[in-house]
Amino acid sequence: MNMHVPGTPRAARRARASQDVLPPSMNIAVIGAGYVGLVTGTCLALLGHRVTVVDRDAERIAMLHRGEMPIHETGLAERIAEAEKLDFSTSLPSAVAAADAVFICVGTPPNPVDGHADLTQVHAVARDVAGALEGRTVVITKSTVPVGTGDEVEEIMRAVRPDGDFAVVSNPEFLREGVAIADFMHPDRVVVGTDEIWARDAMAAIYAVITTAGHPLVFTSRRTAELTKYAANCFLALKITYINEIANLCEEVGADVEDVALGIGLDSRIGAQFLKAGPGFGGSCFPKDMLALMKTAQDAGMPLRSVETAVAVNDARKGEMVRKIIRAAGGSVAGKTIGVLGLTFKGGTDDMRSAASLVILPQLIKAGARIRAYDPAGMANAKALLPGVEMAASALDAANGADLALVLTEWSEFRTLDLKRLRRTLRQPVLVDLRNLYEPAAVAAAGLSHIAIGRPGAAFPHHAGISPQDVPGRWPQAMARKARMPADLARA
């Protein structure tokens, strides 16, 4: 593995011979107009490249041409509008034929039979891309794929074009939903897996603006890059699982998980991120990536016991939350109304994949509860997934006349909710806060009973060296600085 920050390449590309110097602006095709594809294509265009995002869904492409967004991602619509060199198309052959580089950004959902990542779409795109290539092209797998997928993609493409002048590269994404634009434009690192020198040069040209700004470009082998993505996501999921178990212990011994997380997160060896106790991790990445890595490790005869345990603990977490909610309701939710704040797996997105709400709310309904919910972005996607859940127009509307309010997602607008008004809205003064959005003292002052995660009812103590101004919600800015997190994540 090596790392460098290359300068911007010069001269023109045309003959695509091995000695060519690539231009600062390249023709790029991005296959897949989903979450990763749209963010990747938009950001590459903002870097100055000529980008065509391709998808076989004609309606999705028509929406994008109309300026409508098929996904919710903060700042994406505005950035697409700014990207003058960005286009959308349903024609893969024409986009690929004109491309210096092709990014494969299609889905790899878990196979329900064996837990492996389903590579059907990746393999199909590889065949289609191979048939459309003209001249030297670098083919980049951006989708999250198991170790060895790059070898499979190359084999498929060689079968179609034995003499094709191309290289298959792994370039995994490390995007967080809600701040994906910032993550792409200001990455902690860009990982590139290839042994082809000319392909490394091409990748350096693609990311030249980013690396010139000081963000590291890490070159390694293709298989190492593929494993790095899974290893990173699974490690973060392990941190979440760990702090959730510590939260359980805090409830038994009278400690405060928020203070524990602060105390360990300020340690530079540990870091603050992903130490927020809650109802368990979800989304499009962590659950499926952990299953895929588990299966890969098992097939290799090297099972990852820590990952296997984290998956089991996270699955059980939702049931624990259901029992907590029922206890808060007095031991039964039968005939009671629960006002739910948040449905998506996290704030800042409309993504319902593996959201805690998909497990918790059906179990509450089965126990006899009436559910009325509000989410700032996810209700359209949630309706089909949560039959029996009534959708509300606002957080207070969801809580109106309810026997308890339940916070499931950490949306920013919920942090500033008027708790005294919430108390007046509820039939019973009970707030179950599964995201620890609120300080116990503030909730008590509003006249509400506060059931949180891993917290006693005591007020938040002042920590030496950290003033009240350092505490936005709960996490001190000092912690963010210690973890080297940019203060302006939305600056991209």
Annotated catalytic sites, by residue?
A: 285
Cα–Cα dist 218/216, whole Å? 6
Cα–Cα dist 234/354, whole Å? 15
Q: Are 262 and 276 in contact (CB under 8 A)?
A: no
User: Tokens 């995007």 appear where?
Assistant: 175
Counted residue by residue, the chain has a size of 492
User: Tokens 């002042």 appear where?
Assistant: 462
In one-letter notation, the amino acid at residue 274 is F
Three-state secondary structure string covering the chain:
CEEECCCCCCCCCCCCCCCCCCCCCCEEEEECCCHHHHHHHHHHHHCCCEEEEECCCHHHHHHHHCCCCCCCECCHHHHHHHCCCEEEECCHHHHHHCCCEEEECCCCCECCCCCCECCHHHHHHHHHHHHHCCCCEEEEECCCCCCCHHHHHHHHHHHHCCCCCEEEEECCCCCCCCCHHHHHHCCCCEEEECCCHHHHHHHHHHCHHHHHCCCCEEEECHHHHHHHHHHHHHHHHHHHHHHHHHHHHHHHHCCCHHHHHHHHHCCCCCCCCCCCCCCCCCCCCHHHHHHHHHHHHHHCCCCCHHHHHHHHHHHHHHHHHHHHHHHHCCCCCCCCEEEEECCCCCCCECCCCCCCHHHHHHHHHHCCCEEEEECCCCHHHHHHHCCCEEECCCHHHHHCCCCEEEECCCCHHHHCCCHHHHHHHCCCCEEEECCCCCCHHHHHHCCCEEECCCCCCCCCCCCCCCCHHHCCCCCCHHHHHHCCCCCCCCCC
Q: Are 39 and 175 in contact (CB under 8 A)?
A: yes
In one-letter notation, the amino acid at residue 199 is A
Q: Beta strand 404-407 with 86-89: parallel, antiparallel or unpaired?
A: unpaired
- Partnered with residue 449 across adjacent β-strands are 430
